[in-house]
Copies of this chain bind each other. A is one copy, B any other.
Amino acid sequence: MSVQAEVYEICKSARSASRAMMRLTTADKNRVIEAMAVALDERREDIKKANALDLAEAQAAGVKDSLIDRLMLDDKRIDAMIQGVREVAALSDPSGEVVKEYHTPSGLFIRKVRCPIGVIGIIYESRPNVTADAAVLCFKAGNAVILKGGKEAKHSNLVIAEALIAGGVKAGMPEGAVQLISITDRDAVRALVQMTDFVDLVIPRGGESLIRAVTEQAHVPVIKHYKGVCHLYVDRAAVDSVALDIAENAKCQRPGVCNAIETLLVHSEIAARFLPALYSRLLAQGVQFRLDEESMKHFPEGSREKAQLATEADWYEEYLDLIIAVRVVPSVDVAIEHINFYGSHHSDSIISTDEDAVAKFLLEVDSASVYANTSTRFTDGGEFGLGAEIGISTDKLHARGPMGVEELTTSKYVIISDGLVRK
């Protein structure tokens, strides 16, 4: 069978499963999810064996350590995966919730009701635990899911998906509700994202080239989970200790994640006072610097090898590492312009006690999450109280910011009357 035909059959079967899923109750769905958790536990040794194969292949291919770490599954991580599955069973079920209901003057009774989206494709890289997380969250919202993981985790993904499917089907999950595309051919992604009759939404999670390829090829709707070029703007009315604590937390606590900051902007009026303290604080954490000419003036001579002049490309860069770009700006307006122009519209924060500057920043920064006097590291479904998240949308349509189970539903209008016709 050609790649196109194989993907067609998978998508068709997912559509059919999504219809059957409309008839499942919350209890039905939770029973399936619990059975998936049990099945993952039962297949634990197989998962570890498959993972060892992925790791060996990655090492042989000379893959870098940070990627190897993301690939790796040990008992602790498998426990966390199983725990994550059970937490989704505990989430409340958004499907069927009434968003609003009202009577119209013409005599209609209208309800806007949440319902499943239908068939969702998830395209992701490296971390094999996404296979379980994404499948279960989509299923809880009532959707059939088609998983397309990265080739580096293919053995692990396959065993995890087998466990989910076998466990789920035994507990009443419709065939086709969870499927994994195991073809590594790039044409499989193209076929998936053009299957408009069967696929309602595709969510790509990963690097820039993956996102770009999906966006350019897709005929179905896409919600992008794009990079985080996040900013901290330290206003002239900032409290220095707050700014320093947050700069350190947002840059250093976990530099490899999307809600860590990449660029710090500082108001020119406080640059001479604030920057030396910032440099000292971050140098102690091993941070390296990309500085504009103005901020370079305040850099300690003794650490000169830790800093270099920023290029235009630095302002767009997601370092995912202990590197920070710094620029001195003359006003909150220029800070906002910089963030809107160079940023990825993910998470940005202002440090200030000036209410006008804060209000302006929160209104005009065009990002999914805008913060005042708070670390950007809080952008997270769990921290926001959404429960498990499928990821963090950097798009503006349908879902923006952390996407929980509710964002995996749509709504429909249900209209009832006693035989009304339109005049």
A interface list, Cβ under 8 A from B: 19, 22-23, 102, 104, 106, 108, 110, 117-118, 196, 200-201, 215-216, 219, 221-223, 239, 241-242, 245-246, 248-250, 253, 340, 362-364, 366-375, 377-379, 383-385, 395-398, 400-401, 410-422
Are the CB atoms of B384 and A104 closer together than 8 Å?
A: yes
Are the CB atoms of B417 and A373 closer together than 8 Å?
A: yes
Are the CB atoms of B369 and A421 closer together than 8 Å?
A: no
Least CB distance, A138 to chain B, in whole angstroms: 14
Are the CB atoms of A396 and B383 closer together than 8 Å?
A: no
Q: A108-B383, A249-B422 are in contact. Are A415 and B242 (CB under 8 A)?
A: no
Are the CB atoms of B419 and A368 closer together than 8 Å?
A: no
Are the CB atoms of A374 and B420 closer together than 8 Å?
A: yes
- CA–CA, A340 and B362, complex, Å: 43
Residues of B within 8 A of A215 (CB): 196, 219
Q: Is the interface of A mostly helix, strand, loop or mixed?
A: mixed
Jot down 15 A-B pairs with beta carbons below 8 A, ordered by A. A117-B396, A117-B397, A216-B219, A221-B395, A221-B396, A223-B397, A239-B419, A245-B419, A245-B421, A249-B421, A369-B412, A369-B415, A371-B415, A379-B413, A397-B397
Are the CB atoms of A384 and B416 closer together than 8 Å?
A: no
Are the CB atoms of B400 and A410 closer together than 8 Å?
A: yes
Task: Out of B364, B368, B370, B374, name the residue touching A108 (CB < 8 Å).
Answer: B374
Task: Out of B201, B383, B397, name the residue touching A410 (CB < 8 Å).
Answer: B397
Please state the number of chain copies in the assembly.
Answer: 2
Least CB distance, A249 to chain B, in whole angstroms: 4
Q: A196-B215, A378-B108 are in contact. Are A396 and B410 (CB under 8 A)?
A: yes
Q: A374-B419, A384-B413, A414-B370 are in contact. Are A340 and B19 (CB under 8 A)?
A: yes
Are the CB atoms of A385 and B419 closer together than 8 Å?
A: no
Are the CB atoms of A385 and B242 closer together than 8 Å?
A: no
Residues of B within 8 A of A118 (CB): 366, 396
Are the CB atoms of B239 and A369 closer together than 8 Å?
A: no
Q: A372-B416, A396-B118, A414-B370 are in contact. Are A364 and B242 (CB under 8 A)?
A: no
Are the CB atoms of A370 and B23 closer together than 8 Å?
A: no
Residues of B within 8 A of A367 (CB): 412
- CA–CA, A410 and B118, complex, Å: 22
Are the CB atoms of A422 and B239 closer together than 8 Å?
A: no
Q: A108-B378, A383-B108 are in contact. Are A415 and B372 (CB under 8 A)?
A: yes
Are the CB atoms of A368 and B400 closer together than 8 Å?
A: no
Are the CB atoms of B397 and A201 closer together than 8 Å?
A: yes
Q: A22-B363, A117-B396, A422-B383 are in contact. Are A374 and B416 (CB under 8 A)?
A: yes
- CA–CA, A421 and B242, complex, Å: 9
Which partner residue on chain B sits nearest A220 by CB separation? B215
